[in-house]
Amino acid sequence: MAVAAAAGTALGWWGVPLGVVAGAVRVSTPFLFVSLGECLTERSGRINLGLEGTLVMGAMTGYGVSYLTGSPWLGVLAAGLVGAVFGATHAAFCSLPRVNDIAIGIALMLFGIGLAFYIGKPLIEPQAAMLPSINLGWWSSVPPLRDALRVNVLFLIGVVLAPALVWGLKNTRWGLILRTAGESADAALALGYSVNLIRLGATMAGGFLAGIGGSFLSLYYPGSWNERLSSGQGITAVALVIFARWDPMLCFWASILFGGAGAFGPALQSVGVTEGYYLFNAAPYILTLLIMIITCSPRRTLTGAPAELSITRS
């Protein structure tokens, strides 16, 4: 907050939009990764609510590995792998008969959070190597602007990943097969594909991305490991997928919007507006509600929802 406060003094009200933009980039990154991962999983016809647990596990693992090896990137990779293992566990349970994916997801969420706190106890004190950022504001002499344009590398990867996923779902063999499993298990079976195997792959990929999203929390912003690290970003990101109509590009914009709305309160506070502070912190949720109400219509069915999801399947 110290930086933002400086912005307030140097730039006056301009600090608010700047703060919102910088916040949007920073805060949106975990949303972006988790929602892209969940988007993949849900497009294959399964919901993994366990991503909150995966996120926290990823944060803990990333931090631990970065601390032990000195390389934050190894930490990111390890976080992704742990996420994939969680995804595989979810898929394995779900492929048993009469098992509900939502229930398994909740169980894995609680398990992931508990396990991360348990293993991560010794990691609260030490300082691990952090992820680097790229300075896109080198041309400016205004410190708050430079600060706002300091962009983390994971965000940039996410920026590329979202359109890449859109393209891949449409133009690659894997994309087509994954969508088939999500839209009609019968069709996938008739084509001779194993629906469970496809969903295993999609849930592991989803877990991998969510794990990376978690490593961002501990290795960049806020950049430490403790038990209050995640404030439900995992769950929120799952909701973002519905909001984004299962479209990776819309997931990207939704994450930005959510991140920006989340940064609105702090940015206002930094220029000295303290009244109604809590109200502004609720901005993301109010925004979501508003958009949901505006875009939903009882006359139309929820467009874009994969037909095999347990919430839409009839």
Partner 1 sequence: MPVAGALGIEAVAMTKRFGDFVALDDVSLKVAAGSFHALLGENGAGKSTLVKCIMGYYRPDQGAVIVGDRERSIDNPRAAHALGLGMVYQHFTLVPAMTVAENLVLARAELPAIVDWRRESEALEGFLARMPFRVPLDVKVSALSAGERQKCEILKQLYLERRLLILDEPTSVLTPPEADEMLGLLRGLSDRGEITVLMITHKFREVMAFADEVTILRRGRLAAQGKVADLTPDDMARSMIGAEELTAAPARLDRRGEARLEIRHLAALDDGGQPAVRDLSLSVHAGEIVGVAGVSGNGQRELVEVLAGQREASAGEIRIGGEAYHATRDEMRRHKFSCLPEEPLRNACVGRMSVAENLAFREFDRPPFAFGGVWLRKSRFREEAEGKIRRYRIKTRSPETPVGMLSGGNVQRTVLARELGERVEVMISANPCFGLDFSAVAQIHAEIIAARNRGAAVLLVSGDLDEILEIADRIVVMFNGRLVHETPAGRADLVEIGRHMAGH
Binding footprint of partner 1 on the chain (CB under 8 A): 171-174, 176-177, 179-180, 183-184, 186-187, 189-193, 298-301, 306-307, 314
**Closer Cβ to partner 1, 83 or 306, answer by number:** 306
Peptide bond into 306 cis (omega under 30): no
**Closer Cβ to partner 1, 143 or 175, answer by number:** 175
CB of 239 to partner 1, least distance (A): 22
DSSP-assigned beta bridge partners for residue 152: 133
**Closer Cβ to partner 1, 180 or 224, answer by number:** 180
In sequence order, what DSSP letters do the residues of 12-50 get, joined into one string?
Answer: GGGHHHHHHHHHHHHHHHHHHHHHHHHHHHHHTT---TT
Q: What's the distance, Cα to Cα, between the start and end of the chain in Å? A: 49
- As a whole number of angstroms, the distance between CA 280 and CA 286 comes to 9
**Closer Cβ to partner 1, 160 or 298, answer by number:** 298
Look at residue 301 and give its three-state secondary structure: coil
**What is the sign, positive or negative, of the torsion defined by CA atoms of 261, 266, 270, 275?**
positive
- As a whole number of angstroms, the distance between CA 314 and CA 310 comes to 8
* Backbone dihedral angles phi then psi of residue 295, each to the nearest 5 degrees: -90, -15
**Closer Cβ to partner 1, 232 or 304, answer by number:** 304
CB of 108 to partner 1, least distance (A): 24
Q: Which residue has the tokens 């079976």?
A: 189
CB of 187 to partner 1, least distance (A): 4
- As a whole number of angstroms, the distance between CA 269 and CA 76 comes to 33
CB of 311 to partner 1, least distance (A): 15
CB of 39 to partner 1, least distance (A): 15
**Closer Cβ to partner 1, 69 or 184, answer by number:** 184
**Closer Cβ to partner 1, 2 or 96, answer by number:** 96
CB of 160 to partner 1, least distance (A): 17
| Contact predicate 254/240, CB 8 Å | yes
CB of 298 to partner 1, least distance (A): 7
- As a whole number of angstroms, the distance between CA 19 and CA 224 comes to 22
CB of 165 to partner 1, least distance (A): 14
133-135 and 150-152 beta bridge pairing: antiparallel
Q: What is the largest CA-CA distance in the chain?
A: 65
- As a whole number of angstroms, the distance between CA 113 and CA 50 comes to 10
**Closer Cβ to partner 1, 190 or 286, answer by number:** 190
